Amino acid sequence: MSARPVALSILLVFVAVVIQTTLFGAGRIQPLGAAPMLVLAVVVACVRYLDPEPALLLGFTAGLLVDLLGGSPLGLWAMVHVVIAYLTLRLRHRADEAVPLVGFGIFLLALLAQALFLVTSTLFGQSLLTTSGLVKQLVITALYTVIAAAGVVPAVSRLLRDRSVRTWARR
Amino acid sequence: MLPFRRFERSTVLLVGLVMLSFLIATFDVRADGAGMGAMLRTGAQSLFAPVQQLATAVARPIAGFIDGVSNIAGLRDELAVARSENDALRQQLLDVQAMQNRLTELERILDLEPPTDVATVTARIASLAPSDFDQVRWIDRGIADGIAVGQAVIDEDGLVGRIDFVAENSARVRLITDPRSGVGVRDLGTNETGWIEGRGAGPLELKMFGTTKPVQQGERLVTDGTRFPPGIPVGVVAEPAEAVAGFALITTVTPSIQLAELDYVKVVVGWSPLDAVIDPDTGELVDVPLGPVTVE
């Protein structure tokens, strides 16, 4: 596999992190008190076109960036993004299925990512489970992530499809 | 022979990266955000801050436009409420002016120095948290501007949060709405002290231990001066409550600050908890060398 898709994926993750930390959130765009997980959507979209090892490392890097620019202990989002990248790797052969099914898959991945973060952050002494309206926030964030993915996935596909030597589709 | 190939390389890498993540998190928690974690965060800030500031300049008008369009239906109602509030505030202003005159007169009689304002540094919100679970903001001022960990961050409405990480030219503010934040407060209605904790995007939670007086809806809560300068508005009691014998009084509080409107903030650099004078017998704050913080 050439290095270009990997480099492009890293660049896309950087752009997603910048957009996430400047455009989405309280005071910017945050309808109903939640914002999409744009970085996660980009990781899911990129993993489709990468080999397993670079895909997992991309997830780890993306998560670590989220950790570094957020307020939680380092490593928690990195772990979450790695797990989501791994699950996407396992499921990517089904990415050609009906759009609603893919959307539902991304919804479940976004829910799982948040749940995993909550559990691990609780293990590390972060009292996030006391957040009011937690379930509502989890569901709305997952829905927004699906909406964001609807824009991100085709754009990433267009960018990476031709540049990746071995894609999930050719396997 | 055990089929080692059964474990794919990606699975092995997944396990390795998950373990590495846990290791990093453990070190970061044990180091309390210092050490390697601080170094990495400072590096990430140096890399991202200039890009984020540029992106923020572009994002603000876009976000403002979208926010304006989505709020247009509620503007008429808000205007009516604002007008009635304006009338009430005008009356309160007259009352305050009368009280100020009396205070000046009393200070002159008692030969007291008028309270001085504490030094503050004005900063702007440079970027937001990358996750809804992180109730933090990054500001465009850092060590170079005299910002230090633990300092209070305020805006025109009241207490915003405290500095919990500082880099050369940026700093992280942990908002009072963060579940990991705690603020000592005084109820201006009962003069009792309590503890406020954040609950994410929802209302704050007030806990009062050993109190016998009930709290009423609308009572104002200000900082008690133990950790932050005294007298900074924190919130308003949202639901009346009273303590049941043996249990803490617990109720919800509407924060004074409007999170969605945070833009410019002030970091209180001229005050330390050591400035507060605590009566060793009662444990109460008896005198504060610096007066209540006023926000211009």
Domain range list for chain B: 2-62, 120-286
Q: Is B9 or B21 the better-scoring residue by pLDDT?
A: B21
Give the closest-approach CA distance of B200 to chain A in angstroms. 5
Query: Does A17 contact B at CB distance below 8 Å?
Result: yes
Q: Which residues from chain A sit within 8 angstroms of residue B173, using beta carbons? A: none
Q: What is the pLDDT of residues A93-145, one digit of tens each?
A: 777 777 788 899 999 999 999 999 999 998 888 877 777 788 888 999 999 99
Nearest chain A residue to B164 by CA distance is A71
Task: Find chain B residues with C-beta within 8 A of A20's C-beta.
Answer: 130
Write the DSSP string, A82-131. HHHHHHHHHHGGGTTS-HHHHHHHHHHHHHHHHHHHHHHHHHTT--GGG-
3-state secondary structure B271-288: CCHHHCEECCCCCCEEEC
Instruction: Please state the ipTM of this predicted complex.
Output: 0.87
How many angstroms separate the CA atoms of B281 and B215, rounded? 26
pLDDT above 70 for B92: yes
d(CA A140, CA A115): 13
Distance CA B127, CA B171 (A): 10
Cβ contact (<8 Å) for A52 and B172? no
Give how far A66 is from chain B: nearest CA, Å.
6
Chain B interface, mutation test: which of A22, A123, A134, most B Cβ atoms within 10 Å?
A: A22
Q: Note the pLDDT of residue B242.
A: 81
The CATH code for residues B120-286 is 2.40.10.340
Chain B contact present for A10, CB below 8 A: no
Of B14, B25, B37, the CB nearest to A124: B25
| Whether the predicted pLDDT of A82 surpasses 70 | yes
Q: Output the pTM of the full model.
A: 0.77
CB contact under 8 A, B259 and A70: no
For A:79-138, CB contacts with B below 8 A are 79, 82-83, 86, 89, 114, 117-118, 120-121, 124-128, 130-134, 137
Cα(first)–Cα(last) distance of chain A, in Å? Answer: 13
Tokens of B107: 């200070």
Residues of A in contact with B58 (CB under 8 A): 22
CB-based contact, A26 to chain B, within 8 Å: yes
Lowest mean pLDDT across A106-115, B109-118, B239-248, B267-276: B109-118
